[in-house]
Amino acid sequence: MGTQGPDDAYSKKDERTEEEKAIDAWLPITSSRNAKWWYSAFHNVTAMVGAGVLSLPYAMSNLGWGPGVAVMVISWIITFYTLWQMVEMHEMVPGRRFDRYHELGQYAFGDKLGLYIVVPQQLIVEVGVCIVYMVTGGRSLHKFHEVVCGDSCKDIKLTYFIMIFASVHFVLSHLPNFNAISGVSLAAAVMSLSYSTIAWGASLNKGVKPDVQYGYKATTRTGTVFNFFSALGDVAFAYAGHNVVLEIQATIPSTPEKPSKGPMWRGVIVAYIVVALCYFPVAFIGYWMFGNSVDDNILITLNKPNWLIAMANMFVVIHVIGSYQIYAMPVFDMIETVLVKKLRFKPTWYLRFISRNLYVGVTMFVAITFPFFGGLLGFFGGFAFAPTTYFLPCIMWLAIYKPKRFSLSWITNWICIVLGVLLMIIAPIGGLRQIIIQAKTYNFYS
């Protein structure tokens, strides 16, 4: 259930043993409670504005102008609302903080059921994001190499660029907690705004393509429908910050006079303004300029000016380094909790060294084996991001607060749940089809 941090200023009588206190002071999520409100702002920007923003013009090309604009705006509103719910529920029980997503799930649904509902979905999201960011980092390094070298350099396999990207994480993954990676996260947040601006600014500078077409790219009705489904998953992937929001809020100090939701909410508002400034211009201007010929990563479509595209790709690399760390930290916390609390290993640096290096190695191996960028976004976006982002917070809100039937809160939550469930069902179908199509012509480790 809710783990109380070692420096909670207003906990009920602390019944933990000295050993349990020592473990909580060692685990990544509960080890540091001195974050400022602006930490939550750039942590949330880093978590949200990632690889997904670069695929939004491509998603628009499969959705079309009307549905595309509607899906983008509705997703922004729904996820902003569900993020507010998460922030509110963090300390809804006096004297207790729900520092992890699954702890809130356990409070809402019961100890066992809460774990079974939340942990698999959260792991799919966080591990899935880490894998996709491995691919994104490798592809951006590959693109940087191509742009800088031109035809004068020997072509290097994408596999090696993914390995180069992963090598950074074999070092950074040993930073102990969220506050320790705040510098990395700040750099990543600045980079996200920078490369998003470059993406839409360079698109605008190029102007509308002479032969631009806004009709659906697929030539068959089946292809059009499946691409539409996959594009919904791309959009869901772009709004994925909820999976780490409770863990980020856990790093903020809290007292009865100044609960953590105040500074956290301030950070979330700033983050969502930045999200809007990144997402909407990139999605709409990118699609307006290139139509349905846009790639699944808009920076690949933009080939000139060379120096600007090279710089944008390097910004992407720096950003996804920070994003990988943000999403990996709760996974490290889960792994280390199991090792120390369940399997009774001693909380030592070499236990952390082995477990974290092993995790980075596994995500690198999967990314090298299945680097299907567009399909992965669609599949993961629908399969796990939709529940944890769009409707699981609403279900927990209904289960805990029990708003009056047909009240505004009850209706709002049920609308979010229905839309989220539809997204969860149809988006993975399109993503999986895209993966299958790409896999037909793909050679392993090419």
What is the structure's pLDDT at 5? 43
What is the structure's pLDDT at 7? 43
CATH number reported for the structural domain that contains residue 380 in this entry? 1.20.1740.10
Would residue 414 count as lying in a domain? yes
Would residue 15 count as lying in a domain? no
Residue 173 token pair: 């993954």
Would residue 1 count as lying in a domain? no
What is the structure's pLDDT at 445? 63
Cβ count near 155 (within 10 Å): 9
Element of type H or E holding 276: helix 261-290
Residue given tokens 């540091």 in the structure block:
32
Would residue 137 count as lying in a domain? yes
Would residue 19 count as lying in a domain? no
Is 0.75 surpassed by the pTM of this model? yes
Q: What is the largest CA-CA distance in the chain?
A: 71
Would residue 11 count as lying in a domain? no
What is the structure's pLDDT at 407? 94
- Please count the structural domains in the chain: 1
CA separation for the pair 4, 106 (Å, rounded) = 15
- In which domain, by residue range, is 289 found? 33-440
Task: Compute CA distances 213 → 62, 216, 287, 289, 429, whole Å.
Answer: 12, 8, 10, 10, 26
What is the structure's pLDDT at 389? 87
Would residue 22 count as lying in a domain? no
Would residue 273 count as lying in a domain? yes
Angle 376-380-384 (CA atoms, 0-180°, nearest 5)? 175
CA separation for the pair 202, 410 (Å, rounded) = 44
Regions of the chain short of the pLDDT cut 50: 1-11
